[in-house]
């Protein structure tokens, strides 16, 4: 009420001190030590119970899952495309053909990426029949198909240790995201187009950017341990008059009716766009 | 100028008992006393001037009036004759207040942060800066829309009042340019000559220059309902007491008068009182204080968690920009955006319900104030009583009979007394004939008690009494033609009329007389016993005295009746009666009986008072009436209970002087005159030490003092524990919540001062209605009590609503905290949170307002403003730390969705940076599959939807447990409150629509969800219910433990 007078500062301080610790009743913050103990004990038990409950339900939920394949794959019905090397700055390559330092990182990344495709690592892999889906549903141990690095031709890093960067013909590897059980139809291939014609010539390894169906389907990390996804190398021969210019390139997966490449919202579904700028 | 109302007058008046036909004029002055103190100094001495002096002063002429030109000139100078309405807060200010009040300020901070981060992101050229822009826009919209909503609700309840105060433009009959003209009253100017007749409202303060039988009803000014006569004589030094001034807004009851306008508009007495009212500050309502407290609490939690996690996220090397975005999320999660709107809706629902029960609430918050009321200061007349004189007792044949005083008596069979005695027949004749009151024509179809009567209060009572028992009084009167009449006057104190009889064989005239009993008895020599005239000996006179005292002691107004059949030989039927020379006998008459009248209590009031008593509400009667009448009514309605005694009663019982009585009385009847000389400390002592108090003969001005005294009281201690009485004097700081009823203009300061002012809808003046927070449409005290019940219920239910709303705050907050700490993909988005707060949760929280009371709320003490908070520590802790923690279920759903899509919980920990990186489009899940950014985002939205659905499911359980706070749900009944089920279905329905209907609108971040995910949280919801039932069981078993 309006009649209420403000308590003097001193009094309210004393009240606060009383509240924090009241020597008469032994109350600390309004409760005795015993009361606080009980409260803490209660919450300990309560939260302990909740934690146990959470753990238990999560355990039950995990028990329902298979180790091999996820329960649902409807959120990834069609694969995205990705390139390697992947520059830190959003998919833009900048390098100086005559400065090895400027593209060292790209080269290192490619080299590292291709390590798992090294012949020595593929000793267990078998040679599959090209052009056909390699169905292994009935087989307990899924075999991985061999992907010969030689198929990447000049981009294999065998002849040219700089993957063409030193010559002004940089290589970019395009890969299709792994999706368990995905079986592409038709003849899928990667096709890249520069935004402006005439700035760059594009070579594909394997020829025409074909992706062989024998690498599909994928059976998941645990069943298909040595699986190697097929790669398509795109070699960009940049015209000498187009150096210093930024060249926008878009790669798409074509030739397969069940692989989407025109999604409005997902810019990486079956396609990928990147930029290259080279100086001499 | 001398102040005319000196104390001597007042005390003199107060001590005289008054059973006379008309109250002594001096007594009325007492009620006027304090008013004149405060206001008389401003009044000019127009009442002393002669007519010609007045004409000179105002440049007017009594016969010609003002000239139109001059009137127009003065009108320009003085302005129209209107009361300036109280300064209303400009609408735009009210609107802006809604915009920044409560949580809005926090949300505005969120808006600003969103736009700042939008600006930064835009400058940095990030991919999707518009998300933050949209979020800012949405938040701003939320604030603006809830602001508009609250403003609209407020405006709606104010509008009810606006329509109330709208009056038909008043007309006044003015003489201008020598002609009589009808003018709107607001055109009147000082110096105008106006004519008034019975039924008119006085259009301005008027000095009368001619009056004929003019009586005015000053009740709107003084609270005194007895009409006062007005003449052109200067009778008193004090302009407020003198009879030649009539005041603006009072009513002329009968007669005609002509006068000169001496004050217009705000300069009138009424205008000055109105300005006095605006000086009394408006207090914050208790519920406003509670909501403020709640807002502080929640805002405090929001800000401290927000700042804490801002610091944590900065020290965890998050970017400042990200940290700001987290901060927005935390604020949005913590602020119950929809709650204030819900509270407003709940209050207005209750207001509507109360309006149906005749309590019209002006200010929404007053709904709850009424519920926390601990003292009600009630008027007597009209509120506790029926506001109409009714015959309560009869005395004839040496015996007292009671009459029925209820509101709806219809036939003579309702009257319980013996009507067979010939004495009654004689008495009924006098009652019928010696009466000038008449029914207004054309009301034959109305019940007798509701018919309008022309005549004063006592005559009206007698007329209706006769009409009920005898039927068609007007016809009876017509048959017994009146040949002569002497109306009542204060010198004679009797009324007399002479009639022919309706028996053609009986040529005698019948003389009937009524008046003050002792005066009537003086004129009698015989008394009728069982129809026979017997000599009036001392024994019979003694019996008369005893009966008279007994009836008077009951606070009733007693009238004596006598008659005489004039001998035929002395008074042949051609005899001419002359009332001036009184050529007929007026003594040696035959005394027939006594009738006593009282303004009886409304039949619903005693019950209401006892309800108040059990509800711990102290009812104090404040009246301008005589203490004896006041006490009698107080006893009959239970304000003074049958067993309690006042100091005077004890003194009388023990036969000792009043001074010797120790303070052991629980009841007190305080006279206004005693009150005047009391210090505020003495008043406190009285209020403290008595549980049953009646203030009699108080002026409306003293009401303010009483209200202030009550507001100083500590609740709950008064009178109940006499030992503590000393204590309560020293702990003023915890005030009682005081409700005050009032109708007169003079009550407005008290109405305004009170925590809740209750104006009378029927008898109330506009000024009172303006000052009040609530209007009682039927003027009935019992309606206040139903209002109290509703107010208490809504407080309880708001508690439930808030608990319900707070609980999900944790479920909304935890995702952010866990997201920041463990870097999992964000479980629920800010927009989604808004959909819970303003979508699914709104109807259920309103539904709790329809919950029935758990126990008899009218058996509880009023809530203690200090201790019984709307939101207290326990409620917050229980909601936040216990039920809120069960939001766990939502996390289980979230993890399930991710795991079944390929991201096992172990994979999710710490993925935030890569997960949200737009450049990573081959993000590997637990099974070796690779995801693009958009595929991940879409999965994230599925996660939002799953989390949202789980919260919705758990809120259903939360809603059910919040139906009660102590009782088991099964005691309360699961299906009694149908609206809760509407709430549950709406909640689920909205969630279904959002998920499946709008699941494809990207901006909303909802995706269609697999059906089974709806059930993941169900076990947790059941757990909430079971846990809460167990808790309530413990509360019932071990009440009072901490």
The residue extents of the domains of chain B are 44-82+169-279, 359-381+603-715+732-779, 390-395+416-598, 803-1037
Tell me which chain A residue has its CA closest to the CA of residue B942: A75
CB contact under 8 A, A268 and B733: no
Percent of residues in chain B assigned helix, strand, coil, to nearest 5: 50, 15, 35
CA distance B922 to B823: 19
* Touching B: A residues 18-77, CB under 8 Å: 31, 35, 43, 46-47, 50, 53-54, 57-58, 61-62, 65, 68-73, 75-76
Q: Which residue has 């609700």 as its token pair?
A: B153
CATH architecture label of B44-82+169-279: Distorted Sandwich (2.70)
Neighbouring CB atoms inside 10 A of B220's CB total 24
**Looking at per-residue confidence, does B238 or B9 come out higher?**
B238
CB distance B233 to B48 below 8 Å: no
Q: Please state which of the ranges B84-93, B148-157, B459-468, B834-843 shows the lowest mean pLDDT.
A: B84-93
Q: Cα–Cα distance between A107 and A126 in angstroms, integer?
A: 28
pLDDT higher than threshold 50 for residue B730? no
% of chain B at pLDDT higher than 70: 88
ipTM of this predicted complex? 0.90
Give the gap in angstroms from C-alpha A231 to the nearest C-alpha of chain B: 14
pLDDT at B935 over 60: yes
Q: How confident is the model at residue B727 (pLDDT cuts 50, 70, 90)?
A: very low
Cα nearest neighbour of B736 on chain A: A1
- Cα dist from B292 to B125, B281, B288, B373, whole Å: 42, 19, 6, 19
pLDDT at B449: 80
CA distance A167 to A171: 11
| pLDDT above 50: residue B33 | no
Task: Please state whether the peptide bond connecting residue A99 to the residue before it is cis, i.e. omega within 30 degrees of 0.
Answer: no
The beta-carbon neighbor of B928 closest among A80, A221, A269 is A221
Chain centroid to CA B597: how far?
Answer: 30
Kindly determine whether residue B895 and residue A61, on different chains, have CB atoms separated by under 8 Å. yes
- C-beta of residue B619 within 8 angstroms of C-beta of residue B739: no
CB contact under 8 A, B933 and A268: yes
At B637-663, the pLDDT tens digits run 999 888 888 888 888 888 888 777 765
- Provide mean pLDDT across the span B399-419: 75
CA atoms within 13 A on the CB side of A214: 13
Q: Å from B1042 to nearest chain A CA?
A: 9
| Contact partners, residue A132, CB within 8 Å, separation at least 6 | A213, A214
The pair phi, psi for residue B894, each rounded to 5°, is -60, -50
Q: Which phi and psi (to 5°) does residue B213 adopt?
A: 55, 35
Whether the Cβ atoms of residue B229 and residue B214 lie closer than 8 Å to each other? yes
Sorting pLDDT into bands at 50, 70 and 90, what band is B275? Answer: low
Residue A99 confidence (pLDDT) above 90: no
| Spatial contact of B544 and B524, defined as CB atoms under 8 Å apart | no
Which residues of chain A make contact with B904, given a CB cutoff of 8 A? 62, 65
Residues in chain A: 280
pTM higher than 0.90 for the full model?
no
Q: What share of chain A is helix, strand, coil (3-state, %, to 5)?
A: 30, 25, 45
Selection from B190-204, B549-563, B692-706 with the highest mean pLDDT: B549-563
pLDDT of residue B282: 59
Whether the pLDDT of residue B110 is over 90: the answer is no
| CA proximity to B616, closest of B400, B935, B779, B373 | B373
Least confident of B32-41, B833-842, B906-915: B32-41
Q: Quick one: pLDDT at residue B1005?
A: 84
Longest C-alpha distance within chain A, in Å? 96
User: If you search the block for the tokens 């009420």, which residue do you land on?
Assistant: A1
Topology annotation, domain B803-1037: Calcium-transporting ATPase, transmembrane domain (1.20.1110)
B1019 and A218 within 8 Å at the Cβ level: the answer is: no
With residue B482 as reference, give the H or E element that holds it.
Answer: strand B482-486
What end-to-end distance do the CA atoms of chain A give, in Å? 84
- Picking from B759, B756, B752, B712, the residue whose alpha carbon sits closest to that of residue B738 is B756
Cα–Cα dist B348/B149, whole Å: 12
Residue B908 has pLDDT above 70, yes or no: yes
CATH superfamily membership of B390-395+416-598: Calcium-transporting ATPase, cytoplasmic domain N (3.40.1110.10)
User: Which of B902, B921, B1019 is nearest residue A70 as measured by Cβ atoms?
Assistant: B902
Residue B6: pLDDT over 50:
no
The rounded distance, in Å, linking the Cα atoms of B659 and B661 is: 6
Q: Which residues of A touch B283 (CB under 8 A)?
A: 1-2
**B281 or A89, higher pLDDT:** A89
- What are φ and ψ of residue A61, in 5° steps? -65, -45
Identify all chain A residues contacting B733, using CB atoms and an 8 Å cutoff: 3-5
* C-alpha dihedral sign at B774, B777, B781, B785: negative
How far does B611 lie from chain A, in Å, by closest CA?
A: 27
Distance from the Cα of residue B118 to its chain's centroid: 51
> Does the pLDDT of residue B84 top 50, yes or no?
yes
Cα–Cα dist B610/B604, whole Å? 11
Nearest CA to B653 out of B663, B641, B645 is that of B645
Where do the H-state alpha helices sit in B226-319? Answer: 269-278, 286-315
Residues B464, B389 contacting (CB under 8 angstroms): no
Higher pLDDT, B558 or B83: B558
Q: Sign of dihedral through CA atoms B303, B307, B308, B313?
A: positive
pLDDT tens digits, B781-820: 888 888 888 889 988 898 899 889 888 888 888 898 899 8
pLDDT average, residue stretch B155-178: 66
For residues B44 and B572, the model is more confident at: B572
pLDDT at A22 over 90: no
Structure confidence by residue, pLDDT tens digits, A218-228: 998 888 888 88
The predicted structure's pLDDT at residue B413: 61
Confidence check: pLDDT of B513 > 90: yes
Q: Which of A168, A149, A164, A188 is nearest to A271 (CA)?
A: A188
Closest CA to B154 of B105, B94, B87, B92: B94
Residue numbers of B annotated as active site: 379
Q: Residue B1's pLDDT is what?
A: 36
**CA-based nearest residue to B299, from B101, B138, B95:** B101
Is the confidence at residue B767, as pLDDT, over 50? yes
Q: Which of A65, A178, A269 has its CB closest to that of B899?
A: A65
Closest C-alpha to A116, from A1, A231, A277: A231
| Rounded distance between C-alpha atoms, residue B691 and residue B708, angstroms | 17
Chain A residues with beta carbon closer than 8 angstroms to that of B921: 80-82, 177, 268, 272
The per-residue pLDDT for range B591-650, each reduced to its tens digit, is 999 999 988 888 888 998 998 988 888 899 988 888 888 888 898 899 988 888 888 888
Q: Nearest-CA neighbor of A151 among A127, A182, A187?
A: A127
Tell me which of B372, B732, B825, B929 to substitute to probe the interface with A (most A C-beta atoms closer than 10 Å): B929
| Contact in structure between B886 and B1020 (CB atoms under 8 Å) | yes
pLDDT at position B547 = 92
Number of CB pairs, chain A paired with chain B, less than 8 A apart: 131
How buried is B481 (Cβ within 10 angstroms: 0-12 exposed, 13-18 middle, 19+ buried)?
exposed
The residue whose two tokens read 């899928």 is: A188
Torsion over CA: B217, B221, B225, B228 (sign): negative
- What is the tens place of the pLDDT at every residue in B338-392? 888 888 888 888 888 888 888 888 877 888 888 888 899 988 877 888 878 888 8
Give, as one character, the DSSP assignment of residue B916: T
- The confidence score (pLDDT) of residue B946 equals 94
User: CA-CA distance, A242 to A202, in Å (whole number)?
Assistant: 14
More confident residue, A29 or B869: B869
Two tokens, residue B191: 């110096």
Q: Picking from A241-245, B163-167, B770-774, which range would have the lowest pLDDT averaged per residue?
A: B163-167
User: Could you tell me which residue, A22 or A146, shows the higher pLDDT?
Assistant: A146
Tokens of B418: 């013996």
Q: Please tell me the distance from the alpha carbon of residue B376 to that of residue B396, in angstroms, as a whole number.
A: 40
**Distances, alpha carbon A196 to alpha carbons A15, A200, A248, in Å:** 79, 9, 8
Predicted confidence at residue B120, as pLDDT, reads 85
Which of A241-245, B89-93, B522-526 is modeled with the greatest confidence?
B522-526
B359-381+603-715+732-779 has which fold?
Answer: Rossmann fold (3.40.50)
Average pLDDT over all residues of chain B: 81
| Distance between CA atoms of residues B28 and B387, nearest Å | 18
- The pLDDT of residue B5 is 36
Helix (H) / strand (E) containing B229: strand B228-230
Q: How much of chain A, in percent, has pLDDT values that exceed 90? A: 23
Please determine, for residue A254, whether its predicted confidence score (pLDDT) is greater than 70: yes
């Amino acid at each position: 009420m309006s009649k209420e007078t403000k308590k003097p500062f001193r009094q309210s301080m004393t009240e606060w001190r009383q509240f924090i610790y009241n020597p008469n009743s032994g109350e600390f913050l309004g409760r005795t030590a015993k009361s606080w103990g009980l409260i803490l004990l209660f919450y300990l038990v309560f939260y302990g119970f909740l934690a146990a409950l959470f753990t238990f339900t999560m355990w039950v939920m995990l028990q329902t899952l298979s180790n091999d394949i996820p329960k649902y794959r409807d959120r990834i019905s069609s694969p995205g495309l990705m390139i390697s090397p992947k520059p830190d700055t959003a998919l833009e390559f900048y390098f100086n053909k005559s400065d090895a330092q400027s593209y060292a990182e790209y080269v290192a990344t490619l080299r590292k990426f291709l390590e798992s495709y090294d012949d020595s690592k593929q000793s267990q892999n078998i040679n599959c029949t090209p052009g056909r889906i390699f169905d292994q549903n009935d087989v307990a141990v899924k075999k991985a198909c061999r992907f010969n690095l030689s198929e990447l031709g000049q981009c294999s890093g065998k002849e040219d240790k700089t993957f063409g960067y030193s010559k002004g013909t940089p290589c970019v590897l395009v890969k299709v995201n792994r999706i368990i059980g995905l079986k592409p139809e038709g003849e899928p291939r990667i096709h890249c187009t520069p935004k402006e014609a005439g700035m760059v010539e594009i070579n594909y390894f394997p020829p025409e950017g074909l992706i062989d169906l024998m690498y599909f389907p994928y059976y998941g990390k645990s069943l298909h341990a040595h699986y190697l996804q097929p790669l398509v190398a795109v070699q960009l021969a940049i015209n000498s008059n187009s150096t210093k210019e930024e060249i926008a390139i878009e790669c798409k997966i074509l030739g397969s009716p069940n692989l989407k490449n025109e999604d409005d919202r997902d810019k990486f579904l079956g396609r990928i766009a990147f930029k290259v700028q080279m100086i001499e | 100028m001398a102040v005319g109302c000196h104390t001597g007058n007042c005390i003199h008046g107060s001590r005289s008992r008054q059973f006379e036909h008309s109250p002594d004029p001096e007594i009325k002055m007492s009620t006027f006393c304090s008013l004149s103190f405060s206001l008389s100094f401003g009044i000019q001495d127009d009442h002393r001037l002669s007519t010609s002096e007045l004409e000179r002063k105002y440049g007017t002429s009594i016969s010609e009036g003002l000239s139109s030109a001059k009137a127009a000139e003065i009108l320009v100078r003085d302005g129209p004759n209107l009361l300036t309405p109280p300064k209303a807060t400009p609408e735009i200010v009210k609107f802006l207040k809604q915009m920044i009040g409560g949580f809005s300020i926090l949300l505005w901070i969120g808006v600003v942060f969103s736009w700042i981060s939008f600006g930064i992101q835009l400058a940095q050229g990030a991919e999707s800066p518009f998300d933050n822009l949209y979020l800012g826009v949405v938040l701003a919209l939320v604030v603006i829309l809830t602001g508009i909503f609250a403003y609209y609700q407020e405006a709606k309840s104010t509008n009810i009042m606006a329509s109330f105060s709208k009056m038909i433009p008043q007309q006044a009959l003015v003489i201008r340019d020598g002609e009589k003209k009808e003018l709107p009253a607001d055109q009147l100017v000082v110096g105008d000559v106006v004519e008034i007749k019975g039924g008119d409202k006085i259009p301005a303060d008027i000095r009368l220059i001619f009056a004929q039988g003019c009586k005015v009803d000053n009740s709107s000014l003084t609270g005194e309902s007895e009409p006062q006569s007005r003449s052109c004589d200067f009778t008193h030094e004090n302009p407020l007491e003198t009879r030649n001034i009539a005041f603006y807004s009072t009513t002329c009851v009968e007669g005609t008068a002509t006068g000169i306008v001496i004050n217009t508009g705000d300069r009138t007495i009424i205008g000055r009182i109105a300005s006095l009212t605006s000086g009394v500050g408006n207090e914050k309502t208790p519920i406003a204080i509670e909501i403020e407290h709640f807002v502080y609490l929640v805002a405090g939690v929001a800000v401290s968690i927000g700042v804490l996690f801002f610091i944590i996220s900065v020290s965890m090397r998050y970017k400042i920009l990200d940290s700001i975005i987290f901060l927005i999320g935390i604020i949005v999660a913590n602020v119950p955006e929809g709650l204030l709107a819900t509270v407003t809706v709940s209050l207005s629902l209750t207001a509507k319900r109360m309006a149906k029960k005749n309590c019209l609430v002006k200010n929404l918050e007053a709904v709850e104030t009424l519920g926390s009321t601990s003292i009600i200061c009630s008027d007597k007349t009209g509120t506790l009583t029926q506001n109409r004189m009714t015959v309560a007792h009869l005395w004839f044949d040496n015996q007292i009979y009671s009459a029925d005083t209820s509101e709806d008596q219809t036939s003579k069979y309702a009257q319980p007394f013996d009507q067979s005695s010939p004495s009654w027949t004689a008495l009924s004749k006098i009652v019928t004939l010696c009466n000038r009151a008449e029914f207004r024509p054309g009301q034959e179809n109305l019940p007798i008690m509701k018919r309008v009567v022309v005549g004063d209060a006592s005559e009206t009572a007698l007329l209706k009494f006769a009409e009920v028992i005898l039927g068609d009084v007007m016809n009876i009167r017509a048959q017994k033609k009146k040949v002569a009449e002497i109306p009542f006057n204060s010198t004679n104190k009797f009324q007399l009329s002479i009639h022919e009889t309706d028996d053609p064989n009986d040529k005698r005239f019948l003389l009937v007389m009524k008046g003050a009993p002792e005066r009537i008895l003086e004129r009698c020599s015989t008394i009728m016993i069982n129809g026979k005239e017997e000599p009036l000996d001392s024994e019979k006179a003694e019996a008369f005295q005893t009966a008279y005292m007994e009836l008077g002691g009951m606070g009733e107004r007693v009238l004596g009746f006598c008659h005489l059949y004039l001998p035929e030989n002395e008074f042949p039927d051609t005899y001419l009666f002359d009332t001036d020379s009184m050529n007929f006998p007026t003594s040696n008459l035959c005394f027939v009986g006594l009738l006593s009248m009282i303004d009886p209590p409304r039949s619903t009031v005693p019950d209401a008072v006892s309800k108040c008593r059990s509800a711990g509400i102290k009812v104090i009667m404040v009246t301008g009436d005589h203490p004896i009448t006041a006490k009698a009514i107080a006893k009959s309605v239970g304000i003074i209970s049958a067993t309690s005694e006042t100091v005077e009663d004890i003194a009388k019982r023990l036969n000792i002087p009043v001074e010797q009585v120790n303070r052991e009385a629980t009841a007190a009847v305080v006279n206004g005159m005693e009150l005047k000389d009391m210090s505020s400390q003495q008043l406190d002592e009285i209020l403290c030490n008595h549980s049953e108090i009646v203030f009699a003969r108080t002026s409306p001005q003293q009401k303010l003092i009483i209200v202030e005294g009550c507001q100083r009281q500590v609740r709950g201690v008064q009178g109940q524990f006499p030992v503590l009485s000393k204590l309560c004097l020293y702990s003023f700081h915890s005030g009682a919540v005081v409700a005050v009823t009032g109708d007169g203009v003079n009550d407005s300061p008290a109405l305004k001062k009170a925590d809740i002012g209750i104006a009378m809808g029927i008898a109330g003046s506009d000024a009172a209605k303006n000052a009040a927070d609530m209007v009682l449409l039927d003027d009935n005290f019992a309606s206040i009590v139903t209002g109290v019940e509703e107010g208490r219920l809504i407080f309880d239910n708001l508690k439930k609503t808030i608990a319900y709303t707070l609980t999900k705050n944790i479920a909304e907050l935890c995702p952010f905290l866990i997201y920041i700490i463990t870097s999992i993909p964000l479980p629920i988005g800010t927009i989604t949170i808004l959909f819970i707060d303003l979508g699914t949760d709104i109807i259920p929280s309103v539904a709790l307002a329809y919950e029935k009371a758990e126990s008899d709320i009218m058996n509880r003490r009023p809530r203690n403003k200090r201790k019984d908070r709307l939101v207290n520590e326990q409620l917050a802790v229980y909601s936040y730390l216990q039920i809120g923690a069960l939001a766990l279920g939502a996390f289980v759903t979230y993890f399930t969705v991710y795991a079944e899509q390929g991201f096992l919980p172990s994979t999710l920990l710490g993925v935030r940076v890569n997960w949200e990186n737009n450049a990573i489009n081959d993000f590997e899940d637990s099974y070796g599959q690779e995801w693009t950014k958009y595929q991940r985002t879409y999965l994230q939205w599925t996660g939002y939807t799953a989390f949202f659905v789980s919260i919705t499911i758990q809120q259903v359980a939360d809603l059910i447990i919040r139906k009660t706070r102590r009782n088991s749900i099964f005691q309360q009944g699961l299906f009694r409150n149908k609206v809760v089920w509407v709430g549950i279905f709406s909640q689920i329905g909205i969630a279904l629509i959002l998920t499946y209907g709008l699941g494809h609108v990207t901006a909303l971040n909802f995706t269609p969800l697999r059906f089974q995910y709806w059930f993941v949280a169900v076990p947790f919801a059941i757990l909430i219910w079971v846990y809460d039932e167990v808790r309530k069981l413990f509360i019932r078993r071990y009440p009072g433990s901490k």
